[in-house]
Structure 1
Amino acid sequence: MPVKSYLQAVDFTNPKYLQKLVENRRVFNLKNCELNIFESYQQAYRVPLTFNDFVITSMVQGKKVMHLYDKPSFEYLPGETVIVPANETMIIDFPEAANETPTQCIALSVDETYIRSTVQYLNEYYNPGDGENSNWRLQFDKYHFNNDADVASLINKLVRICTSSEASRDIFADLSMKELLIRLLQSQQLYRVAEEKDHHTNNTRLHFVLHYINEHLTENISIDMLCRKAYLSRNLFFKWFKNQFGITPLQYINRERLKLAKQLLANTSYSVSQVGIQCGFKDTNYFVRLFKSAEGITPGTYQAISSYKK
């Protein structure tokens, strides 16, 4: 399980102000968004929750079990975020909630007009220009994910802003919310193009570049070669890639190599150094540092755990 970035602690409601023990709610209204802080202090099951706007939820403490989109249920834990469209009912279980172990979750509901204007801004200024299918759009096929450092930092900032009494909090919330939406859209863009790259190799420049990277993961991938494949100068290529996906080409290459490394570590008897070399890492120490930074454990420990589970 990749390392997750956790949200900062949020003060719980003073017990004397609790209105209910399941999904007690505090609300902070701003111009373009609304912060909700939910807390539960006793077990409960099949609790429905619906928002009239698009909502970004993130767990702070405890565990929920979520039922969404007629898909299999899943555990929802700290360090994770779930996005849900307007008027979609979430059915939630609280199997471990108690006075001593309450659950706490924040939910940022965002005005639909604000989302449209943000997507329009991206399509106008950062569209790759490779056809209609490349337009930015908010998607819900990947709705449950681990927080990276940027997303966690922005949500933490929005919680601080929304709960403050600053007269200018709407301005600061507007800037942070726009950045959060753009980061989520970039992450979804990468997920979508990466999923399509093998079946739509020549659909767009984005598909072609990602397909080339994954076809040559075990080789030395030259950034200059990627620039030539994309028909862009080095500076333009870095800017274009980062604008589309929110990460650099090297970060994407390393991410894909680590995914391959996990498969090899779990299913082969290769040594850590052999796995690193097969995944395109010339320096074993660099591979180990990168793996531990991403997964929280060393490749050797990951391999041992995987062997134990078999």
Structure 2
Amino acid sequence: MQIKNYLQTIDLTIPRQLQTLVESRRVFNLRNCELSIFESYEQAYDVPLTFNDLVITSMTRGKKIMHLTNKPSFDYLPGESLIVPPQETMIIDFPEATLDNPTQCIALAIDDSYIRETINYLNHYYNSDHEQQNWQLSFHQYHFENNHEITELINKLIRICSSNDKSKNIYADLQLKELLIRLLQSQQLGQAEEGSNNGADGNRQNFVLNYIQEHLTEKIAVDALSRKAYLSRNLFFKWFREQFGITPLEYVNKERIKLAKQLLAKPQSNIYDVSKLCGFTDVNYFIRVFRKVEGTTPKVYQSSCNCN
């Protein structure tokens, strides 16, 4: 029921310019990246696609079924993205593509040296003498729903790459760096959550996330989180955002809404009681946060659960 962050609408290729009805491709080359827009207008199966560079793809229309090496196949839909390493062949099915209902997907191939430069920047800037961390892109978390920030960055890159602006390489480089950093931060949060769920508690991230999960239904004081991180209040806010790309409050609210969804799915659950059980002292604030995170109200969400 969570609202999806869809990419902007991209005009389809003019029919007379189509070279093929399966994976027709428009390409925009820049200094450190290459943007491709793929479209398919008829059913097809087992279509291979390989890039020489790391590629970030995002669906804009229709449905694909993806088959990646040593991974289970999955539906690929608008509002979702995929990270694929260099030289890995994707095998793609187009079970629903027609002239009236084509699939459309963007693929952003990024130069390896630019990725290394960005990761080196993170390793230098976000590491301290007291805590060293090896930032790197993980292909374990390869398929994900877009959040608002990543959607906006990809939308900007599409506009920049397809423009005639003479300065577009400069603008694209800035957006690329932020996109890579936000992806790394998002993956960092996922890995830290996984470690926390598995009982790992050997670093600052796990101490903080463990504390939040254990006290999710209570009032969570920022000072307590700061102490868990062995940082001052101001440094803690800066560190948390650098590591995960969101503020501590945004993370706490996100986890509380995740819990609220589980409780609202139960028959006869009461919105006021759910709000209280999830650590919200004001039900109106709970409703506002729920709507911001999920794109709908708790009441509408609960009704949809009861209809299923």
Q: TM-score range by the shorter chain?
A: over 0.9
Partner of 2:281: 282
Total equivalences in the alignment: 308
CA contact (8 A) 2:123 2:134 kept: yes
Q: 1:136 to 1:200 in 2, by over 3 A?
A: farther
Q: C-alpha separation between the residues in 2 aligned to 1:81 and 1:273?
A: 36
Tell me whether 1:5 sits opposite 2:22 in the alignment.
no
SS in 1 for 2:265: helix
Q: 1:130 to 1:252 in 2, by over 3 A?
A: farther
Unaligned runs of 5+ in 2: none
One-letter amino acid matched to 2:127: N
SS in 2 for 1:25: strand
Q: C-alpha separation between the residues in 2 aligned to 1:285 and 1:147?
A: 27
Partner of 1:169: 168
- Per mean C-alpha deviation after superposition, the further-off stretch among 175-184 and 299-308 is 299-308
Partner of 1:101: 101
One-letter amino acid matched to 2:85: P
Q: C-alpha separation between the residues in 2 aligned to 1:130 and 1:307?
A: 50
1:154-303 map, 5 Å: 154-267=153-266, 269-303=268-302
Q: C-alpha separation between the residues in 1 aligned to 2:193 and 2:35?
A: 32
Shift of 1:85: 0.8
Shift of 1:252: 0.4
Q: C-alpha separation between the residues in 1 aligned to 2:74 and 2:191?
A: 22
Q: C-alpha separation between the residues in 2 aligned to 1:173 and 1:51?
A: 20
- Per mean C-alpha deviation after superposition, the further-off stretch among 138-147 and 17-26 is 138-147
Partner of 2:58: 58
Unaligned runs of 5+ in 1: none
Q: C-alpha separation between the residues in 2 aligned to 1:128 and 1:52?
A: 34
| Percent identical | 61
Q: C-alpha separation between the residues in 1 aligned to 2:217 and 2:13?
A: 52
Partner of 1:28: 28
Tell me whether 1:149 sits opposite 2:173 in the alignment.
no
Q: C-alpha separation between the residues in 2 aligned to 1:290 and 1:112?
A: 39
Partner of 1:16: 16
- CA deviations 1:150-182 (Å, max 9, x no partner) are 111111111111111222111111111011000
SS in 2 for 1:139: coil
Partner of 2:116: 116
Q: C-alpha separation between the residues in 2 aligned to 1:187 and 1:135?
A: 15
- CA deviations 1:212-262 (Å, max 9, x no partner) are 111100010011221122121221111110011000000000011111111
Q: C-alpha separation between the residues in 2 aligned to 1:84 and 1:97?
A: 23
SS in 2 for 1:197: helix
Q: C-alpha separation between the residues in 2 aligned to 1:55 and 1:129?
A: 33
CA contact (8 A) 1:3 1:293 kept: no
Shift of 1:130: 6.2
CA contact (8 A) 2:26 2:36 kept: yes
Q: C-alpha separation between the residues in 2 aligned to 1:273 and 1:15?
A: 54
- CA deviations 1:28-75 (Å, max 9, x no partner) are 111110000001111111111111110000111111111223333222
- Per mean C-alpha deviation after superposition, the further-off stretch among 43-52 and 265-274 is 265-274
CA contact (8 A) 1:130 1:204 kept: no
TM-score, structure 1 normalization: 0.95
Tell me whether 1:38 sits opposite 2:38 in the alignment.
yes
Partner of 2:138: 139
- CA deviations 1:107-145 (Å, max 9, x no partner) are 00011111111111101111266655x321100122111
Q: C-alpha separation between the residues in 2 aligned to 1:267 and 1:92?
A: 38
Shift of 1:302: 2.1
Q: 1:182 to 1:212 in 2, by over 3 A?
A: same
